[in-house]
Amino acid sequence: MIAMGQGLKNRGYAREDVQERRQAAEEFSSTKLEVTSSYTIDPESARSNIENMIGCIQVPVGYVGPVKVCGEHAEGEFLIPMATTEGALLASVNRGCSLINKSGGANVRVIGDNMTRSPVFRVDDIRHGLDVIDWVGDNIDAIREAAESTTRRGKLLGIEAFPNGRNLYLRFSYSTADAMGMNMCTIATEAAARKIEEATGAVLVSVSGNMCTDKKPAMINMLSGRGKTVLADCLVPSAEVKSRMGAEVDSVVETNYRKNLVGSSMAGSLGQNAHVANMLAAMFIATGQDPAQVVEGSMTSTLCENVDGDLYISVRIPALEVGSVGGGTKLATQSEMLDMMGCRGEGKALKLAEVMAVAVLAGELSTLGAQAAGHLGKAHAELGR
């Protein structure tokens, strides 16, 4: 029996290693893991994605669409894969896709693209901290050289300084090409931070000082963006709102105002939307993104207006952290899902972000319509039980 808890020392990825480890887990827990042992992923391909592999968890995957996307990087009709265990989700998003198609498609643009990492340094006092900031400004080329020496894709875009007493936070921003790039930024920033430490006497406490901010809701990301910042909108004819959603344009606008704007404000929510995390989580799981970063994408704002009798709806996703290479995107099933959208490989990350944003728009449109018409509970009763 393999001892449990060996961690990084036990990284065998032949199928017999996975089987032996699973048998150890079965004996330890007195549980038969028959279904977990049935999978098609080659364990060797998951070497950089997981340790102590014992099998695979299966999540049902379906698709919504085709939906018409009118983007700068994504243009045309797309089927969008979503993996979830929540009944009614795909049906709802699919209805939103149909409404978008009746509107002539959704406009979408990526307006920001940078990944951040923010180390925290301990300085002697505020004067020392300001001296360090000055040194960073005067030596940005040397810092950039140190950071970029660790990566083929990453490019340092800039550094913002945030001093506070004996704490100094430096928020590094990078272009990461088609990778989501979090690990890339961490390695590059650590190299740059060591150079700053040696030259200035500031002490690096942590390569992540939580002003990045990764996998947590944060106003800095809501305003400044992290990963891809994406806008999407469409104008839905009033006749379609009434016939397909059973609601009036003004009732959808009012629902969005009182729910997403006023209700979210009263709750102190970072994000003013109906259920953006739902669509993002399903697409992240299907395409091999980091599901923990759904929390940042959930800070989306959804807006609705009555424009000459028709329904205008838009979403602003401030921190959509996705990639078309690296991480889980290279696993077999996730690669296939990316291929469905033509979003796998080099030069496809911005396209992927645009397609995802349109799916988010579709989900928001459908759910707001269902709530305005009083149909949300009925839909879940019929499809989600």
Task: Please report the pLDDT score of residue 12 as a whole number.
Answer: 73
Tell me what pLDDT residue 378 has: 65
Closest CA to 359 of 88, 94, 99, 103: 94
Give the pLDDT confidence of 326-358 residue by residue, as tens digits.
999 999 999 999 999 999 999 999 999 999 999
- pLDDT above 70 covers a percentage of the chain that reads 95
Q: Is the CA virtual torsion 11, 17, 18, 22 positive or negative?
A: negative
d(C-alpha 336, C-alpha 322), whole Å: 16
Average pLDDT, the chain: 94
- Note if 290 is an active site residue: yes
CATH number for the domain formed by residue range(s) 61-113+228-383: 3.90.770.10
- Active-site choice (86, 190, 197, 305): 86
Domain ranges of the chain: 7-46, 61-113+228-383, 119-206
Mean pLDDT across the stretch 115-132? 98
Taking CA atoms, 319 is separated from 59, 186, 200, 255, 341, in Å, by 25, 18, 33, 25, 21
Asked if the model's pLDDT at residue 31 lies above 50, the reply is: yes
The whole-model pTM stands at 0.93
**Catalytic option among 290, 305, 310, 336:** 290
Among residues 26, 305, 375, 380, the one annotated as catalytic is 380
- Per-residue burial over 340-376, b if 16 or more Cβ lie within 10 Å, else e, is bbebbeeebbbbbbbbbbbbbbbbbbbbbbbbbbebb
Residue 3 has pLDDT above 50, yes or no: no
Class of domain 119-206: alpha beta
336 as an active site residue: the answer is no
Instruction: Give the Cα separation of 209 and 218 in Å (integer).
Output: 13
| pLDDT tens per residue across span 214-238 | 999 999 999 999 999 999 999 999 9
pLDDT for residue 135 = 98
Residue 374's pLDDT band (cuts 50, 70, 90): confident
- Region 253-279 average pLDDT: 97
Residue 4 — very low, low, confident or very high, per pLDDT cuts 50/70/90? Answer: very low
pLDDT in tens, 152-186: 989 999 999 999 999 999 999 999 999 999 999 99
Cis? peptide before 213, omega within 30° of 0: yes
* pLDDT tens digits, 52-95: 999 999 999 999 999 999 999 999 999 999 999 999 999 999 99
